[in-house]
Structure 1
């Protein structure tokens, strides 16, 4: 089982999330009542809709993480899963994303999946 499969299996058990297809068209997704939260694009790369305000709050910590890739102005971050600790980080960030979406839901008529970072970030192997 890949790290992304394990993460998705754990998150599918969360009562606030339901599964479906990512609105960007690539891979499965998990969504809350308000918005898409997670896109599983590959065996290692996961886009997380954290919201711009939450990214601003956590920016320094996210920037320092080797598992996180950010695109300026995007409300999404890409989490590259290389080890169990990265899965733990994803779980914590999904929790933060769910809370952020209670405060800052996606605007009506503007689906969150249109802005995910798929094909907008390059993840290089850790050295």
Structure 2
């Protein structure tokens, strides 16, 4: 079983997440309240929809992680799953994304790309 499939199995039971078709057309996706939160593109790469505010707040930590790729101008970060601890990092960041989304902070993220990083 790949790390991405293990992460997907763990996240699939979260009550705020539901599986959906990814808008980019690649892989599998999870949504919360109608908005896409995660795209599982490969066995190792996951795009996570964060807010601009969350990306700025955690920028030093995100950029300091070898597992995370921050794309300038994007609301999405890419997490590369290589080891088990990368799944834990992903779950933590999904929690941040859900809190931001469910608190309505995504609406203020104007000017950033809504498309995931797999384009």
> RMSD in angstroms over aligned alpha carbons?
2.0
Structure 1: where are the runs of 5+ without partners?
108-112, 120-127
Using the size of structure 2 for normalisation, the TM-score is 0.91
Closer, same or farther: CA 2–64 of 1 in aligned 2, 3 Å? same
Cα pair 2:3 2:87 within 8 Å, conserved: yes
Q: Following the alignment from structure 2 to structure 1, what is the Cα–Cα distance between the partners of residues 79 and 117?
A: 10
Task: Pick which of 29-38 and 59-68 moved more.
Answer: 29-38
Aligned residues: 116
Give the Å deviation of 1:106: 4.8
* Alignment partner, residue 39 of structure 1: 39
Cα pair 1:45 1:80 within 8 Å, conserved: yes
Does 1:5 find its partner at 2:16? no
* Alignment partner, residue 103 of structure 1: 104
Cα pair 1:35 1:106 within 8 Å, conserved: no
* Alignment partner, residue 60 of structure 2: 60
Using the size of structure 1 for normalisation, the TM-score is 0.85
String of CA shifts for 1:68-118, please: whole Å, max 9, x gaps. Answer: 0011011100000000000000000000000111231358xxxxx951001
